[in-house]
Amino acid sequence: MIKTPVCQIVGYKNSGKTAFMSRLIEYYTSKGFTVGALKHHGHGGEPAAMDARETDSGKHSNAGATISGVQGESRLQLSFDHNSPMDLTDILRMYELSGPDIILVEGYKDASFPKVVLLKESDDEQLLQDVTHTVAIGSRNKDLLHNRKLYTIPLLEIEDRIDDIATYIQNKVF
């Protein structure tokens, strides 16, 4: 059970997820919230190994450690290697131990936290059928925005009006 408010940002490739999420992070941080951010590396990709052989935690990892971490004065870095992907809820529990006010999650379409679905164009609408718990649709597409009344879920502009959608998410999810 995750007690911290979580909002997912989902969308097909090149729908602007990372840029939108970064702007939300900036917005909420400017409002005094601490924000945790998690991204799913799509298509079987991997984050680059943290720091190879040169560092001590790299040596621990090379020796076979399934978790290698290093804590400095103001930064903690952890790297987990697993045979099967860790469960999103377990990852979010780790986040909670550090006590962020809110957690924004990029990707993980199958998860069931409140979601903003990004649509680049009307062809992307299938995604609305494939996910659950959608609280808003976000887009930069002028045609989609013009036809926003066709949708039963609020469709909001994500570039020029970041404050509006951030406030909407805040009221709906936090």
Can residue 25 be called a binding residue for a copy of itself (CB under 8 A)?
yes
Of 129, 99, 120, 102, the closest CA to residue 24 belongs to: 102
Can residue 100 be called a binding residue for a copy of itself (CB under 8 A)?
yes
Please pick, from the candidates 12, 80, 151, 174, the single residue that binds a copy of itself as defined by CB under 8 A. 80
Give the range of 60-68, 122-130, 141-149, 163-171 binding a copy of itself by CB under 8 A. 60-68
CA distances from 43 to 60, 70, 86, 102, 113 (A): 28, 28, 16, 26, 21
Measured over the CA atoms of residue 126, residue 127, residue 132 and residue 135, the dihedral's sign is: negative
Can residue 52 be called a binding residue for a copy of itself (CB under 8 A)?
no
CA distances from 83 to 58, 66, 76, 80 (A): 19, 10, 23, 10
Helix (H, G, I), strand (E, B) or coil at 156: strand
Q: Specify the DSSP class assigned to residue 73.
A: S
Can residue 3 be called a binding residue for a copy of itself (CB under 8 A)?
no
Segment 105-164, which members bind a copy of itself (CB under 8 A)? 106
Beta bridge partners of 9: 106, 116
Please pick, from the candidates 1, 63, 149, 171, the single residue that binds a copy of itself as defined by CB under 8 A. 63
Can residue 64 be called a binding residue for a copy of itself (CB under 8 A)?
yes
Can residue 21 be called a binding residue for a copy of itself (CB under 8 A)?
yes
Can residue 32 be called a binding residue for a copy of itself (CB under 8 A)?
no
Please pick, from the candidates 2, 12, 16, 55, the single residue that binds a copy of itself as defined by CB under 8 A. 55
